[in-house]
Structure 1
């Protein structure tokens, strides 16, 4: 059973009305041309555009990257950066009874601990939790590796009648979005009001109204 928001209420229409002017009609004609000639992206009508990108969320089970947190702040953004940070800032300061000790990226999202013992090169496969135990045992209780996954997101409060405007918006406001943000076409599925409005915008002969302005 559908649950409706309780804010569907009405009040008196106090918006001041006016007649169409030449500037309005010029805008409608240009909008109509853009809507009728832009690529449909094989999306059903009524189509509109939004901004789509990705968000980073902590996810130790299905991680895309392993990042390092220190004192609750994230100090790396990729697994490669995490490996470099561990080697440059932590391993060199640890009391390790092994020569040439370094950590590297293993298969998938595991790590490899590499060192020399009795003149022989040794390798140990470590999962992230084992690295965290290693850090805690060496006095780095405030440093730990966490998993990060990237999830697709359609940004709220974005809605454009044309892809051209969506692209221009993204170019002007790219700093508000993820690096992989892009325009994305959607359909106002089973929305009769939007369908009818789109039909008016695309089919009315706006130039004929100019003679009455």
Structure 2
């Protein structure tokens, strides 16, 4: 418990002093990055080549660089490639002639994206995540601040985290905490057992049948019992 309170105090300090990145509260951070997507020729920022035989595609500049380095083409062929003078039509003809006759060029542009499955309360944690997981992102990955717009519960939680007086929290003795955990597990277990017997007596409101209700509460009681055992607590069960 002491460790939890200390963690909340330190988090509160960080929340109160960190950069807000011009974002309204309640704010949070995700990972922002960039990716290339197909575009119209009018707003293309680069061209890539698709090679059906290899089921691969490369930016044209990368393809040319690799072609000159991998030793697959002879000097005469590479001379022809140089003579294309960055003309995309001529480059495509060269690729179709020497690499893959089904090759095609397609225009692309770079767009900003917010990476899925990223969420951070503090900017510093987001920065550490990007550094530790750089192999999942491009070199342009960055922290991106957002607002939980019209999310009343999130706003209230953020308010508590930033303003609550954690010094006022009474830290209970370990024995008291354990006793309360036992009581909570026992109460949950007893509830499901009582509901099981209610269903057996024909009282199964909200369920399609007595059997469904009975089976649900029997299983739920069993799961609570197993959770309690995992926590080192043995409950009083039927027949005790």
1:196 is aligned to: 156
Aligned pairs for 1:2-41 (under 5 A) are 21-41=1-21
Residues 1:199 and 1:90: Cα distance change in structure 2 (over 3 Å): farther
CA contact (8 A) 1:66 1:146 kept: yes
User: TM-score, normalization: structure 2?
Assistant: 0.59
Structure 2 runs not aligned, ≥5 long: 174-240
1:69 is aligned to: 50
Partner Cα distance (1:101, 1:158) in 2? 44
Aligned pairs for 1:117-132 (under 5 A) are 128-129=88-89, 131-132=91-92
- By relative contact order (CA 8 Å, sep 6+), the higher-ranking structure is 1
Aligned pairs for 1:1-213 (under 5 A) are 21-59=1-39, 61=41, 62-70=43-51, 71=53, 72-74=55-57, 76-77=58-59, 79-84=60-65, 89=73, 92-93=76-77, 102-105=83-86, 111=87, 128-129=88-89, 131-133=91-93, 135-136=95-96, 140-210=100-170
Structure 1 runs not aligned, ≥5 long: 1-20, 106-110, 112-127
CA contact (8 A) 1:22 1:210 kept: no
User: TM-score, normalization: structure 1?
Assistant: 0.66
CA contact (8 A) 1:87 1:103 kept: no
Q: Secondary structure at the match of 2:134?
A: helix
Larger gyration radius, structure 1 or structure 2: 2
Partner Cα distance (1:192, 1:64) in 2? 42
Report how far residue 172 of structure 1 moved: 1.0
Deviations 1:166-199 (CA, angstroms, capped at 9, x unpaired): 0111111111122211111111111111111100
Answer 1 or 2: which has greater strand percent. 1
Answer 1 or 2: which has greater helix percent. 2
